[in-house]
């Protein structure tokens, strides 16, 4: 059994069946919906979808303390190497086998600036991740993205889809519903909403709209999901 913990906004940690700790888009200290201190988080691998501050804010200190490997696009990996971190670069469409499973980097339609000190030279494309974990679970983390036709390629390949619903910067609930129709996951975990007023959304209304297409697990920050 694997455990996913939602830390609010778009920050998640996953403990796999094999006991590896993954952290996705670490944004703890400045995240208004997060009550967890980054100092209390375990990490063997840190996955970064893109360089916006609300996805990478705590990546460097977390990786330095834990020695975790940073999985990110080539350009963000270059920046992280410059910070003295261990990295595993990917690019869109490329997968790598890790001790916890297989990770493929998927497309996302969004901005690509790396919003960390000195990061201006490391502009890159944003991404999502498709994970095939050691326990057999298939998890799609869409990242910050618009609805993509490419999501249709994921149909039947995803058990759990983590989708942004906040609107304004990413898909809103209506397009996230279309993403559910494209992907046909068993479970949908909404994210990237209610962190600040401009991305307030009603996750219960989203769950009602999804209906019997999938089970919506609208996790409160700090809540866990076992799968």
Q: Could you tell me which residues are beta bridge partners of residue 96?
A: 103
52 binds Ni ion (CB under 5 A): yes
167 binds Mn ion (CB under 5 A): no
Could you tell me which of 144, 139, 141, 142 has the C-alpha nearest to residue 167? 144
Q: How far is the CB of 125 from Ni ion (least distance, A)?
A: 12
3-class SS of residue 68: coil
Q: Which stretch binds Mn ion (CB under 5 A): 70-78, 79-87, 99-107, 138-146?
A: 138-146
- Select 20 or 52, whichever has its Cβ closest to Ni ion: 52
Q: Which stretch binds Ni ion (CB under 5 A): 33-41, 44-52, 70-78, 148-156?
A: 44-52
Binding-site member from 44, 75, 144, 167 for Mn ion (CB under 5 A) = 144
- Residue 38-57 contact track with Mn ion, rule CB under 5 A, x = bound: --------------x-x---
Dihedral Cα 27, 109, 160, 207, nearest 10 deg: 90
Q: Where are the alpha helices (DSSP H) in the chain?
A: 53-56, 59-66, 74-82, 173-183, 203-210
Q: Are 124 and 76 in contact (CB under 8 A)?
A: yes
Binding-site member from 25, 75, 144, 217 for Ni ion (CB under 5 A) = 144
Interface contacts to Mn ion, rule CB under 5 A: 52, 54, 144
């Amino acid at each position: 059994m694997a455990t996913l913990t939602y830390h609010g906004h778009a920050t998640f940690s996953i403990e796999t069946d094999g006991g590896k700790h993954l952290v996705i888009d670490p944004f703890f200290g400045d995240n208004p919906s997060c009550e967890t201190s980054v100092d209390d988080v375990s990490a063997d691998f840190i996955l970064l979808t893109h360089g916006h501050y609300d996805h990478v804010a705590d990546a460097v200190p977390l990786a330095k303390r834990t020695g975790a490997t940073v999985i990110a696009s080539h350009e963000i990996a270059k920046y992280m190497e410059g910070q003295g971190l261990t990295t595993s670069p990917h690019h869109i469409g490329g997968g790598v086998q890790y001790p916890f499973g297989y990770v493929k980097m998927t497309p996302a339609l969004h901005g690509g600036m790396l919003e960390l000190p000195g990061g201006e030279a490391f502009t890159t494309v944003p991404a999502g991740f498709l994970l095939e974990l050691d326990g057999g679970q298939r998890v799609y983390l869409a990242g910050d993205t618009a609805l993509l036709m490419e999501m249709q390629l994921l149909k039947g390949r995803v058990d759990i889809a983590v989708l942004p619903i906040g609107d304004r910067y990413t898909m809103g609930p209506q397009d996230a519903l279309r993403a559910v129709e494209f992907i046909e996951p068993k479970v949908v975990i909404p994210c990237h909403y209610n962190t600040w007023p401009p991305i307030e959304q009603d996750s219960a209304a989203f769950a009602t709209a999804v209906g019997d297409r999938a089970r919506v697990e609208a996790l409160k920050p700090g809540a866990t999901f076992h799968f």
